[in-house]
Amino acid sequence: MTDIDGDLTRVIPGSLMERLGITLLEVGADKVVGTMPVLGNTQPVGLLHGGATAALAETLGSYGAAVHAGPGRTAVGIDLSITHHRAVRDGHVTATAIPLHLGGRVCSYTIEVVDDKGIRVASARLTCVLVPDSQNSE
C-alpha cells in the first residue's frame, strides 16, 4: 500500500485483490467502499468463505489507512476482528470502511459488509500502524 498518488481504485496484477475479484468503488481516508463476488470465493459447501470476507474488510480498511498516512508512510494491519452474521450463497457483497480513529501512528476502521439486498452479513474492525514507507526510502 505504498502508491497512494495514482488511481486508488486500480487493482494491482497478481494481488489478492485481483484473485478475489475485489473492486474499489470509493477510496478516501474518511470512507472506502468496495465489492467482491461470491462466486469463486466460497467454502466447499457453496457459502461465501469467511477468510475472503476478512480479506475484503482488511483491504478496504488498509486503503483508507494508507490514504490517511499520506506520502512517505504506509499502513500495516496489526489487528483484525470480524463477526459473520449470516451466510451468502450468490451475488456480490459490498463493504464500507469508516474510520473510528485517525491518529498520527495508529488508525482504526469499522467495516460493514452487506449482501445484494443490503442485509448485513459481517462486521469487522481493523487497526493499522502507520510506518515509514521502506520502498521509498533511500
| Distance between CA atoms of residues 76 and 120, nearest Å | 26
Cell matching residue 81: 476482528
pLDDT: is 103 or 8 the higher one? 103
Q: Which residues of 43-119 form beta strands (DSSP E)? A: 73-84, 92-102, 106-114
Is 7 among the domain residues?
Answer: no
Q: For residue 8, is it within any domain?
A: no
Expressed as residue numbers, the domain containing 29 is 16-136
Full-model pTM: 0.91
Domain membership flag for residue 2: no
Q: Which residue has the higher pLDDT, 37 or 12?
A: 37
State the catalytic residue, choosing from 18, 26, 58, 112: 58
The pLDDT of 45-71, averaged and rounded, is 97
How many domains, in total, are found in the chain?
1
6-15, 18-27, 111-120: segment of lowest average pLDDT: 6-15
Nearest to 68 by CA among 19, 122, 23, 28: 28
Q: What local confidence, expressed as pLDDT, does residue 6 receive?
A: 58
Specify if 126 maps to a domain.
yes
* Closest to 53 measured CA to CA, from 77, 31, 21, 7: 21
**Residue 100 included in any domain:** yes
Q: Quote the pLDDT of residue 138.
A: 44
Whole-number pLDDT of residue 135: 63
Q: Is 58 a catalytic residue?
A: yes
